[in-house]
Amino acid sequence: MKVVTVTFSDEQYNILKKMRITGDTDEDKLKNIFLEYASMRRDVQIEYEFYKRKLVWDKVMRILEMVWESYEDGEDIEDVVARWSIEKIEAIEHILREYQIVTPPDKNWTYLPTHKFRICWKRLFNQLIHEYPEMYEYSAACAATIYLVDEYSMESLSDEELRDGTILLCEGWFFAMAECAVTARKFMKTQRLYG
């Protein structure tokens, strides 16, 4: 941990005191101001996102464990949602739509992750499979989904809702991306061996 000492003029300190930034102490206020500023800077976006993920990574791993426990009864990677009732699927879809994670259903009752969610998911998924090369691609897909659903919902969902939302999104769309990553990784290994 690094310690930074800052000297303020009286006027600057008065401004700090009057700012409506969360934090009990001046140190907390300065940290929060710094993090808010860092969140808006493109040049440190990757580092800032890594810092945010690190804060909630234990929670993401706990929910990921719950997701894989749901698959222990089945034989196929995509069979949990098939065992759910229509009411449960609609309830989960309603929660995801409320936080603008999925689009409203069209006339055929199909819905998709929103464009913004898909773009954030793809970026995070790629970061995870590069930061954690030992992580299974399907786990990286689930971890990215858990993290983003939790972030979009402002950490208001229960662990079970996060688990179920992750399973629904992954089985519907994101496991296909993980499968593409698995295929690409296998292709790259064979190219290195034979190319």
For the stretch 89-121, pLDDT in tens is 899 999 999 999 999 877 776 778 999 999 999
Whether 168 and 82 share a structural domain: yes
**Model confidence at 158, in pLDDT bands (50, 70, 90)?**
very high
Residue 40 pLDDT greater than 80, yes or no: yes
Whether 23 and 104 share a structural domain: no
> What are the DSSP calls for 127-170, one per residue?
HHHHH-TTS-HHHHHHHHHHHHHHHHTTT-S-HHHHHHHHHHHI
Whether 15 and 57 share a structural domain: no
User: Which domain, by its residues, includes 9?
Assistant: 1-40
Domain count, the chain: 2
Residue 194 pLDDT greater than 70, yes or no: no
What integer pLDDT is reported at residue 36 of this predicted model? 86
Q: Which of 1-10, 104-113, 149-158 has the lowest mean pLDDT?
A: 104-113
Length of the chain measured in residues: 195
What is the rounded distance in angstroms from the CA atom of residue 18 to the CA atom of residue 14? 6
Whether 62 and 130 share a structural domain: yes
Global pTM value: 0.81
Whether 119 and 63 share a structural domain: yes
pLDDT digit string, tens, across residues 17-31: 887 777 778 888 888
pLDDT digit string, tens, across residues 67-85: 999 888 665 555 788 888 8
What integer pLDDT is reported at residue 38 of this predicted model? 86
Residue 115 in tokens: 């464009």
Q: Which of 2-11, 105-114, 163-172, 174-183 has the lowest mean pLDDT?
A: 105-114
pLDDT digit string, tens, across residues 116-149: 999 999 999 999 998 888 899 999 999 999 999 9
What is the rounded distance in angstroms from the CA atom of residue 13 to the CA atom of residue 62? 42
What integer pLDDT is reported at residue 76 of this predicted model? 57
Helix axes 86-98, 159-169, angle to 10 degrees: 100
Whether 134 and 182 share a structural domain: yes
**For residues 45-54, average pLDDT:** 86
Q: Count H helices and E strands in the chain, helices first.
A: 8, 0
Whether 139 and 181 share a structural domain: yes
Residue 25 has what DSSP assignment? S
Whether 55 and 121 share a structural domain: yes
Whether 17 and 82 share a structural domain: no
Report residue 113: phi and psi, to 5°: -60, 145
